[in-house]
Amino acid sequence: MQSYLDFEKPVAELQGKIEELQKLGDTGEAVEIDEELERLQSRAENALADIYAKLTPWQRTQVARHPQRPHFSDYVGHLISEWVPLSGDRKFGEDHALITGFGRFNGEPVAVMGTEKGSSTKSRIKHNFGSARPEGYRKAARIMDMADRFDIPVISFVDTSGAYPGVGAEERGQAEAIARSTEKCLELGVPNISIIVGEGGSGGAIAIATANRVLMLQNAIYSVISPEGGASILWRDAGKAKEAATAMKITAEDLMEFGIIDGMIKEPAGGAHRHMETVMDATGKEIAAFLEEFSGKSREDVREHRREKFLAIGKSLM
């Protein structure tokens, strides 16, 4: 069943009328409803297109967090064959929020990692709502080290509100683990690409998104802190999250302008959760184009490209 966001209420009302008419048609109580169904369906599609053509940063935040949006496991299932997940950081244990492994993309070997939020209450608890602990980032660094050793490109999918801030995570060196994972991203001699598919929150995202190419889905967000957290710091009022979302410049369009990301993957009207295969196919095309572009580049060239890319951030604004 489709879940509607608050600002999608006009579409939800039209869809309710459509379902009522369809039920009448199924029971045989209505003779001529096809034309009315077609008219209502057209109105619903137009209303959805109008809404998504002028989304505010706060509304994009809500779309990025939509529970039915495709997650890491969906992208892996759709794009990666011969998937073999690898677990554990070889120091403490396994983290289920950050999943890593190896597989094939278009027949070629790749290392894949990403944050998984889960799609049901049980799976969300298992994956800690996509907030990784130190062992998750140490596992990511371990997998990247293996990929580098065997000249295998790295693909990462980011969807996290941030790294887990619990006492245990801090005791086990959360900040150091994030820093080491980020360092490993920068050291790679193989190409790496990262796609922000939902939320890209703070160091928890950067730890696996410091890549040769960083892309965002159109309705994804990427920021140093959540709008609620930013509002609490700036105005001591989390209720001003809408204002914070606008001020923080967290959308793909804003971040492209600043040079923080390299490109945006467009989503059809209604968002990725309504057009999962279309969006995942578009993501696959971007990954394929990147791997083809970097095929044959020397390890030194790959490192230099990544280094220059991040050193250039902010220069255009000076």
Domain residue ranges of the chain, discontinuous segments joined by +: 6-54, 62-317
Give the Cα separation of 80 and 97 in Å (integer).
19
Instruction: Please answer whether residues 243 and 236 qualify as being in contact, where contact means their C-beta atoms are separated by less than 8 angstroms.
Output: no
Lowest-confidence segment of 32-36, 181-185, 191-195, 247-251 by average pLDDT? 32-36
Instruction: Please answer whether residues 226 and 201 qualify as being in contact, where contact means their C-beta atoms are separated by less than 8 angstroms.
Output: yes
pLDDT, one tens digit per residue, over 191-200 is 999 999 999 9
pLDDT given at position 32: 67
- CATH classification number, 62-317, choose in 3.90.226.10, 3.30.390.50, 2.30.30.90, 3.40.50.980: 3.90.226.10
pLDDT above 60 for 28: no
**Amino acid identity, position 175:** A
**SS3 call for 306:** helix
- Nearest by Cα to 62 from 231, 295, 228, 303: 228
Question: Please, which pLDDT band fits residue 25 given cuts at 50, 70 and 90?
Answer: low
Instruction: Determine whether 35 is exposed, middle or buried from the number of CB atoms within 10 Å of its CB (0-12, 13-18, 19+).
Output: exposed
Q: What is the pTM of this model?
A: 0.91
**SS3 call for 271:** coil
